[in-house]
A and B are shown apart, each in its own frame.
Chain A
Amino acid sequence: MNSLLPAQFVALLRREVLENRTLFIAAPAVLALVLLVFALWIISMAPSARIAEGVEYLSIMFDGLSPAEMAPMFLMPAIPFIMMLYACVIIYLLNALYQDRKDLSVFFWQSMPVSNLGTVLSKIVTVIAVVPVFYVAILFVFYLLVVIALSLLGLSYDVQVAGLGYMFLAAVVSLLLFYVSTFLAALWLLPTIGWLLLFSAFAKRTPVMWALGVFILLGFLEDLIFGTQFLGNWIESRINFRQYIVLDLPMAMDRLFSYDMLFGIVVGAILITGAVYMRRFVD
């Protein structure tokens, strides 16, 4: 049985991707396409003097920088992708343990020898490690086209923006940073993942209302009974956007090995255990 486990888990991950390919692949691909078309439109509309100015500005900005130093700048265009990733993942998590109960395919899933823990873990691993891979792949193509376009623009305006190879390397480093950032952010947000999965497993309908409603109610009750706002403050301390992006390895290490991170993971694990427990029976 043990030798079967990895293959089984891979099948569970594959199921998540196949079922949610619109959220995980089509959505970022469309975003990349929209951004590229938008950029082309801007370039075609702008007067050539302005474009020359822009290319010149980039060449000055990149001048003398190593790929690793250039990489954080390449993260800028990834911000809309990060926002889309979060939006899609929230939708995914709210439906993850709800949709199959709604369309009754849960009876098929539960008729297979797959544990509830395995099912729930596959959803978490999908969010933490698998979805960002698709984003990285799409961003890779996106960056490749951007780097080629920048080089072509440089050539046509006779400005050396930065070496093509240099920019390409910078893009690759920035994608590594993107992956590490999303991975760490997902760990940082494990309580949120657990909370959404808990209500996805619990709600008979509209899990989003439950997830939000219970949270607001808890905050309200805390304020009413204890006169404190611990819950609200704790959430506030975790929604600073800077916490979600790492720009180099030491920063990643600091973020990973911190008490705050550990505390969040423990809270997340408790909520996830609740989701596994909720998943036990269908009625």
Chain B
Amino acid sequence: MTDIVEARNLEKKFGDFKALDGLDFSVTRGSICGLIGPNGAGKTTTLKALVGLSDVEGDLRVAGRDPRVSRHKLMEEVCFIADVGILPKWFKVNQVLDYVEAVHPRFSRERAEQILSTTDIPANKRIKELSKGMVTQLHLALVMAIDVQLLVLDEPTLGLDIIYRKEFYDRLLNDYYDGDCTIIISTHQVEEIETLLSDLLFIDNGKIVLDAAMQDLENIYSEVLIDAGHYAEAEQLGPIYHRDILGKRAYIFEGVDRNRLRELGEAATPTVADLFVAKLRGAKRE
């Protein structure tokens, strides 16, 4: 398996603020990778850099190209939905299809129309007349009709209600993902995409703080709920984070043998959301 994204020592400054601070990561072809981080962690800057919209320093290859020098060539292989990116409001739905059909060699109008026919989006309406949910549906339909190697989604469901959000990810997984393409998604709503992901990247303060395959998480991380009075035993094993739950304490451990942890209580794999808090809060405590 080769990597579709290779990023080494990426740096980006906005004045004195380091948005990216020596970022290192790679994304395997065919994976669905979640880029998770708090606000201001550098998610959007990272994703913009991948599609050649941010001028970062460091080594960066996406689909075999440097995005900073050949964005337009790269965009034949990569699709991007930005967090704040909106489709031009003055376009009519069929005009935006005309446009993409004319400029994108890998766009299938037939496919886009077929996807749109399953929605309530009227072809002759202007985009400014559509609801936010419909605009996202339209954007997804456009992107799904383009045969690319990599799809980059930056908070694609931001501001949508739960029904649209669920539909968005269902469609992405069932109608789009075929195992050949790679998807990178950044989001706040970790719980909603947890089951989708094959790989996980946590980013904080412009650095990667976790880079793991979902299937490896259970071998590395464990969460154990421990009764009061046994905290000291747990603390000895060096947990990375704990939180109190109804008179008990949930400890999260990294790299500790699960058989050993079972002696303390029931051990399970933490959810991505809990792991996220643990990695970020834990790092701040140190």
Contact = CB atoms under 8 A, between A and B. Distances in A.
B84 A4 contact: no
B103 A12 contact: yes
Interface in A1-46: 1, 4, 7-8, 10-12, 14-15, 18-19
Most chain B Cβ neighbours within 10 Å, of A10, A11, A19, A116: A11
Interface string B46-64: 0010011111000000000
B102 A280 contact: no
Given A11-B98, A107-B80, A114-B72, A280 B103 contact: no
A282 interface: yes
A111 B76 CA distance: 9
Interface stretch (A98-106, A177-185, A196-204, A256-264): A98-106
Contacts of B48: 282-283
Interface stretch (B89-97, B197-205, B252-260): B89-97
B73 interface: yes
A110 interface: yes
Interface residues of B, number: 36
A281 B55 contact: yes
A84 B121 CA distance: 38
B88 A19 contact: yes
A281 B88 CA distance: 19
B185 to A, nearest CB: 15
A66 interface: no
Contacts of B105: 1, 4, 113
Interface residues of A, number: 30
25 contacts: A1-B105, A11-B103, A14-B98, A14-B102, A19-B90, A104-B85, A104-B86, A107-B85, A108-B86, A108-B87, A109-B88, A110-B51, A110-B71, A111-B81, A112-B75, A112-B103, A113-B73, A113-B104, A113-B105, A114-B103, A280-B68, A281-B55, A282-B53, A282-B54, A283-B14
> Nearest 5 A-B pairs (CB), nearest first?
A107-B85, A11-B102, A107-B82, A115-B72, A113-B75
Interface of A: 1, 4, 7-8, 10-12, 14-15, 18-19, 100, 103-105, 107-116, 118, 280-283
